Amino acid sequence: METTTSIPIWKRIWDRLGILGAIIILVLIGIVVSFIQNQQVTTAVLSSTIRQSTPLVLGALCGLIGERTGIINIGIEGQMLMAAFIGYLANVYIGQLGVFSVGMTLFLAALIGIATGALLGLLLAFMSVTLKMDQIIGGTVINILAIGITGYFYQVGLTTQGKLQPIALGRLADIPLVGPVLFDNPPITYITLILVVVVHYMLFYTRWGLRSRAVGEYPSAADTVGINVYLMRYVNTTIAGGFAGLAGVFLTLEAVGSFERLMTNGRGFVALAVMIFGKWTPFGAWGAALLFGFATAMQTQFQFMGNLTIPHQFIGMLPYLLTIVVLAGFVGRSRPPAAEGIPYEKE
């Protein structure tokens, strides 16, 4: 006890949080300062940050659940695209039945979209576990398949009864800045924030999480203690697919409200980057996604303000350059799960 008390409290906090804590504090100070200067813009940029980051967080969660269990998933883009499409079609056709309310229709459509993502996750598991196919090829198959199927069955002129609307959380939504940014969002945005915490808890504090990580790091050891490596990989990749499905559904049922060809526009790949950036942890991915979302929001804001001397393409590069700079400057080397990408052969 003597030794603990002799260390000053600020030092203990610093040791605990380190450079990350310092960055968070700086960001918070920055937000407060900018809020004092311009309330409206700050609120708009931060709300947009949350919106932009949502599909990326979900995609990254999909990626990391799979990779923690040893399955590389570069098919997130395809899973998102297909789920966005099927979820949208479900919204259209269930709506046409006229049996359910708008809210119920959207809920069912979202479930169908999530199931679509999960189904593609199952396909990825089948390819990489049962067929022992190269996992990068497996993901690429999903990506091309999704582009092909959504493009082939795409129809113009479909109408829906609406999209998911923001739900204000009572008094909380009235708090300046924090309220509109955090407590006045559509449902999938809330769910995403909850999922980050849930996945973190599940991955690091439950038996399932420990087993998953064991399978991803050292499958033969996991096998000897009686963990079913194949089953674990199947289950996790399928669940993870559901996360990508939710990301896709976010696009068609919450953000945009309709489907366009190739509308995921590389978000699945950016999510992959966000996952690696966040060092395969949910909170890390969330932070990386927020950074990316913030840069995207700033870009929109700059364009909105107009009369800028910088060409808009340079502002368009901002999120991507920022990611590279931060990655090269602060994050550096990251270590993927050891057994990822290697099909497991039972001895």
Phi-psi region at 134: left, alpha or beta (left = phi > 0; alpha = psi -120 to 50): beta
User: In whole angstroms, how close is the CB of 127 to another protein at the nearest point?
Assistant: 7
C-beta closer to another protein: residue 104 or 144: 144
**Residues 127, 214, 246, 247: which binds another protein (CB under 8 A)?**
127
User: In whole angstroms, how close is the CB of 247 to another protein at the nearest point?
Assistant: 17
What is the C-alpha to C-alpha distance for residues 242 and 65, in angstroms, rounded to an integer? 11
What is the C-alpha to C-alpha distance for residues 213 and 117, in angstroms, rounded to an integer? 22
Which of 143, 151, 142, 141 lies closest to 85 in space, CA to CA?
151
Tell me the HSE value of 288 on the side-chain side, using a 13 A CA sphere: 30
> Does residue 236 contact residue 64 with C-beta atoms inside 8 Å?
no
User: In whole angstroms, how close is the CB of 185 to another protein at the nearest point?
Assistant: 26
C-beta closer to another protein: residue 171 or 346: 346
User: In whole angstroms, how close is the CB of 163 to another protein at the nearest point?
Assistant: 25
The answer to whether 272 contacts another protein (rule: CB under 8 A) is yes
Residues recorded for the chain: 347
C-beta closer to another protein: residue 133 or 173: 133
The answer to whether 154 contacts another protein (rule: CB under 8 A) is yes
**Residues 14, 153, 201, 304: which binds another protein (CB under 8 A)?**
153
> Does residue 128 contact residue 243 with C-beta atoms inside 8 Å?
no
The answer to whether 122 contacts another protein (rule: CB under 8 A) is no
Question: Which residues within the stretch 62-101 sit at the binding site for another protein (CB under 8 A)?
Answer: 72
Q: Compose the 302-341 pattern: x for residues touching another protein by CB under 8 A, - for all others.
A: ---------x-xx-xx-xxx-xx--xxx-xxxx-xxx-xx
C-beta closer to another protein: residue 179 or 316: 316
The answer to whether 237 contacts another protein (rule: CB under 8 A) is no
The answer to whether 277 contacts another protein (rule: CB under 8 A) is yes
The answer to whether 140 contacts another protein (rule: CB under 8 A) is yes
C-beta closer to another protein: residue 34 or 140: 140
Which of 343, 275, 342 lies closest to 64 in space, CA to CA?
275
C-beta closer to another protein: residue 110 or 214: 214
The answer to whether 133 contacts another protein (rule: CB under 8 A) is yes
What is the C-alpha to C-alpha distance for residues 142 and 150, in angstroms, rounded to an integer? 12
Question: Which residues within the stretch 182-221 sit at the binding site for another protein (CB under 8 A)?
Answer: none
What is the C-alpha to C-alpha distance for residues 301 and 37, in angstroms, rounded to an integer? 16
The answer to whether 156 contacts another protein (rule: CB under 8 A) is no
Alpha helices for the chain (secondary structure H): 2-6, 9-37, 39-68, 76-97, 102-125, 135-152, 178-182, 187-205, 207-217, 219-224, 229-249, 267-277, 282-305, 312-326
> Does residue 81 contact residue 262 with C-beta atoms inside 8 Å?
yes
Tell me the HSE value of 241 on the side-chain side, using a 13 A CA sphere: 29
Residues in binding contact with another protein, number by CB under 8 A: 53
The answer to whether 342 contacts another protein (rule: CB under 8 A) is yes
Which run of H or E residues covers position 184? strand 184-185
Task: Give the contacts of 191 (CB within 8 A, at least 6 positions apart).
Answer: 246
**Residues 102, 149, 158, 202: which binds another protein (CB under 8 A)?**
149
**Residues 134, 184, 217, 260: which binds another protein (CB under 8 A)?**
134
Residues that bind another protein (CB under 8 A): 72, 127, 131-138, 140-142, 144-145, 147-154, 266, 269-270, 272-273, 276-277, 311, 313-314, 316-317, 319-321, 323-324, 327-329, 331-334, 336-338, 340-342
